[in-house]
A and B are shown apart, each in its own frame.
Chain A
Amino acid sequence: MYVAVKGGEQAIDAAHRLLADARRGDRTVPELGIAQIAQQLALAVDRVMTEGSLYDRDLAALAIKQARGDLIEAVFLLRAYRTTLPRLAVSLPIDTAAMAVERRISATFKDLPGGQVLGPTFDYTHRLLDFALAAEEGATEPAPPAAEADLQPMPRVTDILAKEGLIAGEPADDDGPVGDITREPLVFPADHDLRLQSLARGDEGFLLGLGYSTQRGYGRTHPFAGEIRLGSVVVELVPEELGFPIDIGEVVVTECQMVNQFRGSKQQPPQFTRGYGLTFGHCERKAMAMALVDRALKTRDLGGEVTAPAEDDEFVLSHCDAVAASGFVEHLKLPHYVDFQGELAMVRTLRQAGENGDTDGERQ
């Protein structure tokens, strides 16, 4: 005999206890510390800070621990925390030309002021499992000393090109007050500042796939990695009562500037155009993918016809957010008995009508 199910509350409580137990796992294995995650899973922390749009290594590490290493869940935790914080001030634009650089490479010039600095990178490692790491106790050699080049000024490649007028400048309205997609609804077509914000918070995997699609012919943009740089920059703001900028701290960011061919239009001479990517911490793949998609999204502004998915701001920005996407995809787990019952009744009616031959028109 059917009894209407009660007890959702107990079930939820029990599920939460099971989750906590599964998160901790085997109690004989030492528990992960937040500092260990922040230090040794640094790139996961960087990704969570970037997509969570909150620069706080410890909170991101906590989110990763709580989410059992599920980075999208960790991003969600961090976002849900961030949304409760007051927005106290808007900083001045960071100056990446004045970055204390850890890594800087250009694929467009063999050498340039400041030189090429490889920095800490997986590039050129052979992807062979290092079984020595499994031993856990192994001492790691200290880092090599910084080379001379690190201490020289490093102008950005795009600034070098801009001096000759070879790269398109950003429209003047980009110097106006920036929008905030966390405080205003996004409406389309979206301006460049809002596009960049959405992309910065966007899912790395989604943007990677879209960026890749532009390379394979779905909205070709002929990109060159003009420059990728990683390092810390000073964050400044102007308190109203002071009227001059003060430093409030430093953040580590990765910046990618793609330089793209552009044949020019009626209004503009042939020149290069820019695709821009910026992330918190070291998220190089994300920064590059973002730069590709940013450039693709400029297609309409540059007088081109929007044909590929990556060129369509409404398509890209509406679907790039992992928190929104995972929420809606996973909501299919929720009960849909009522709608399904409606569909069942409809299908039965249609089938019956078909058997009785009493449809007005053609049957599926």
Chain B
Amino acid sequence: MSDQTGYNFAYLDEQTKRMIRRAILKAVAIPGYQVPFAGREMPLPYGWGTGGIQVTAAVIGPADVLKVIDQGADDTTNAVSIRRFFARTTGVATTTKTTEATLIQTRHRIPEHPLSEGQIIIYQVPIPEPLRRMEARDSETRKMHALQEYGVMHVKLYEDIVRFGRIATSYDYPVRVNGRYIMAPSPIPKFDNPKMDRMPALQLFGAGREKRIYAVPPYTRVESLDFEDHPFEVQRWEQACALCGAADSYLDEVVVDDQGGRMFVCSDTDHCAGRRQGADGTLQLLLPKDAAQ
């Protein structure tokens, strides 16, 4: 109990947590299947992570160590706000270090450092339905999932190839889970999709406004949809991170002047800081040359 706030541990009442845990269990049992749940109204706005927050609130315990990231960063305002929400309502330890966290709530990224067994990553999901772009009606898409009627998705990807010569989806790139359900990985860049495949950590997805929970159990097959002659590929940059020199991480583009100057830095702030950590604990700049060119 968190007496200071007058609310139950992790804000939600125990009955609600139990209801959410049941939905999570069902979701884990049917990987990639969207389980409707009675999402509650949270004190943060819909669309700002209420699904992820409810899932986190349902699984968090006093011994957990929580990390919250938005766009890969621990210090973006909404990540700060959500981390504070749990610090206030649970008193659990929080961290920015991927390796120290037992629970990681995320919006739009998977950390660069591989996750391990025993960790849980909780994705905030705006639109849980991967078929929504092709079919607006939930009553229809539920049937399509039930019948594995996924032709429209392949047609959409094929049309991209015909028009653009490649699949032109760069984030929220659809995946097939355990060879059965097509699933929206949430708006992570497709760069992160391969990390989902056979991940040792449990992956939970919460969509608060749409009231859906889904899951990928540890070591489950997650394939990004593609064609034999147009295999799935991820984003690459010609530059390395201007701060830590990482050549294999997802980069954010930062506009540094009004002359077209750009620099590229790791979107995962913990990954970047970890690489730059000197023996004395201070952050080093590994590439001192001006990378803004």
Contact = CB atoms under 8 A, between A and B. Distances in A.
A314 B139 contact: yes
Interface in A140-191: 182-189
Contacts of A362: 162-163
A341 B107 CA distance: 15
- Chain B, interface size category, equals 35 or more
A2 B269 contact: no
B166 A349 contact: yes
Contact of A335 (B46, B76, B161, B254): B76
Interface residues of A, number: 57
A9 B88 CA distance: 14
Interface string A183-206: 111111100000000000000000
Interface string B27-51: 0000000001111111101111010
B75 A345 contact: no
A226 B3 CA distance: 53
Contacts of A1: 290
B102 interface: no
A361 B75 contact: no
A4 B187 CA distance: 23
A342 B13 contact: no
B1 to A, nearest CB: 14
A363 B265 contact: no
A83 B126 contact: no
Interface stretch (A88-96, A123-131, A238-246, A320-328): A320-328
B20 to A, nearest CB: 12
A330 interface: yes
B123 to A, nearest CB: 13
A338 B168 contact: no
Interface string A312-338: 001000100001101111110011111
Interface of B: 7, 11, 13, 36-43, 45-48, 50, 70-73, 75-81, 84, 107-109, 126, 137-139, 161-166, 168, 170-172, 187-191, 209, 211, 235, 237, 242-243, 250-254, 256, 263, 265, 267, 269, 272-273, 290, 292
Given A318-B138, A339-B189, A345-B237, 13 more contacts: A2-B254, A4-B269, A8-B80, A185-B38, A185-B211, A187-B138, A188-B138, A330-B47, A334-B70, A339-B187, A344-B253, A345-B235, A363-B164
Interface of A: 1-2, 4-9, 11-12, 76, 79-80, 82-84, 86, 182-189, 314, 318, 323-324, 326-331, 334-339, 341-346, 349-350, 353, 358-364
